[in-house]
Protein backbone atom coordinates (compact mmCIF):
# COMPACT_ATOMS: atom_id res chain seq x y z
CA UNK A 1 0.00 0.00 0.00
CA UNK A 2 3.02 2.28 -0.08
CA UNK A 3 2.12 2.91 -3.72
CA UNK A 4 -1.25 4.35 -2.65
CA UNK A 5 0.46 6.70 -0.19
CA UNK A 6 2.77 7.93 -2.96
CA UNK A 7 -0.16 8.39 -5.34
CA UNK A 8 -2.12 10.23 -2.67
CA UNK A 9 0.80 12.63 -2.30
CA UNK A 10 1.00 13.10 -6.08
CA UNK A 11 -2.75 13.89 -6.17
CA UNK A 12 -2.10 17.00 -4.10
CA UNK A 13 -2.16 19.80 -6.64
CA UNK A 14 -2.32 23.56 -6.83
CA UNK A 15 -6.10 23.73 -6.63
CA UNK A 16 -8.61 22.20 -4.26
CA UNK A 17 -10.81 21.13 -7.19
CA UNK A 18 -8.06 19.02 -8.72
CA UNK A 19 -7.16 17.58 -5.32
CA UNK A 20 -10.74 16.47 -4.73
CA UNK A 21 -11.24 15.00 -8.20
CA UNK A 22 -7.95 13.09 -8.22
CA UNK A 23 -8.35 11.82 -4.65
CA UNK A 24 -11.92 10.71 -5.38
CA UNK A 25 -10.66 8.65 -8.32
CA UNK A 26 -7.88 7.21 -6.20
CA UNK A 27 -10.26 6.27 -3.38
CA UNK A 28 -13.15 4.94 -5.48
CA UNK A 29 -11.76 3.61 -8.74
CA UNK A 30 -7.99 3.12 -8.79
CA UNK A 31 -7.76 -0.22 -6.95
CA UNK A 32 -10.44 -1.83 -9.14
CA UNK A 33 -9.09 -0.42 -12.40
CA UNK A 34 -7.07 -2.65 -14.71
CA UNK A 35 -3.31 -2.18 -14.97
CA UNK A 36 -3.52 -0.11 -18.16
CA UNK A 37 -5.90 2.34 -16.50
CA UNK A 38 -3.74 2.50 -13.38
CA UNK A 39 -0.68 3.28 -15.51
CA UNK A 40 -2.66 5.94 -17.37
CA UNK A 41 -3.67 7.55 -14.05
CA UNK A 42 -0.05 7.57 -12.92
CA UNK A 43 0.96 9.14 -16.23
CA UNK A 44 -1.82 11.70 -15.90
CA UNK A 45 -0.43 12.75 -12.51
CA UNK A 46 2.71 13.85 -14.36
CA UNK A 47 0.79 16.47 -16.35
CA UNK A 48 0.87 20.12 -15.40
CA UNK A 49 -2.20 21.36 -13.54
CA UNK A 50 -3.18 23.72 -16.36
CA UNK A 51 -3.16 20.93 -18.95
CA UNK A 52 -5.00 18.55 -16.66
CA UNK A 53 -7.68 21.13 -15.90
CA UNK A 54 -8.16 21.85 -19.62
CA UNK A 55 -8.69 18.14 -20.24
CA UNK A 56 -11.14 17.81 -17.37
CA UNK A 57 -13.11 20.87 -18.43
CA UNK A 58 -13.11 19.61 -22.05
CA UNK A 59 -11.45 22.85 -23.15
CA UNK A 60 -8.76 20.83 -24.89
CA UNK A 61 -8.78 17.43 -26.55
CA UNK A 62 -6.71 14.73 -24.92
CA UNK A 63 -3.57 14.26 -27.02
CA UNK A 64 -2.56 10.90 -25.56
CA UNK A 65 -5.47 8.54 -26.21
CA UNK A 66 -4.30 6.16 -23.47
CA UNK A 67 -5.39 8.84 -20.96
CA UNK A 68 -8.88 9.20 -22.38
CA UNK A 69 -10.57 6.53 -20.24
CA UNK A 70 -9.15 8.00 -17.03
CA UNK A 71 -10.15 11.54 -18.06
CA UNK A 72 -13.69 10.29 -18.74
CA UNK A 73 -13.85 8.72 -15.29
CA UNK A 74 -12.47 11.85 -13.65
CA UNK A 75 -15.05 13.99 -15.44
CA UNK A 76 -17.76 11.80 -13.92
CA UNK A 77 -16.81 12.60 -10.31
CA UNK A 78 -19.08 15.22 -8.83
CA UNK A 79 -17.73 17.55 -6.18
If pLDDT is split at 50, 70 and 90, which confidence band does 79 have?
low
CA distances from 18 to 29, 56, 63, 73, 78 (A): 16, 9, 19, 14, 12
Residue 14's pLDDT is what?
87
CATH number at residue 48: 1.10.150.250
Distance CA 68, CA 1 (A): 26
Domain count, the chain: 1
Given a cut of 60, whether residue 36 has pLDDT beyond it is yes
**pLDDT category of residue 48 using cuts at 50, 70 and 90:** very high
The percent of residues in the chain predicted with pLDDT above 90, rounded, is: 89
List the domain range (segments joined by +) for residue 65.
2-75
Amino acid sequence: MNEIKQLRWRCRRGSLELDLILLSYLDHRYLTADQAEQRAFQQLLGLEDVVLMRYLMADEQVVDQSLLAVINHLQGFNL
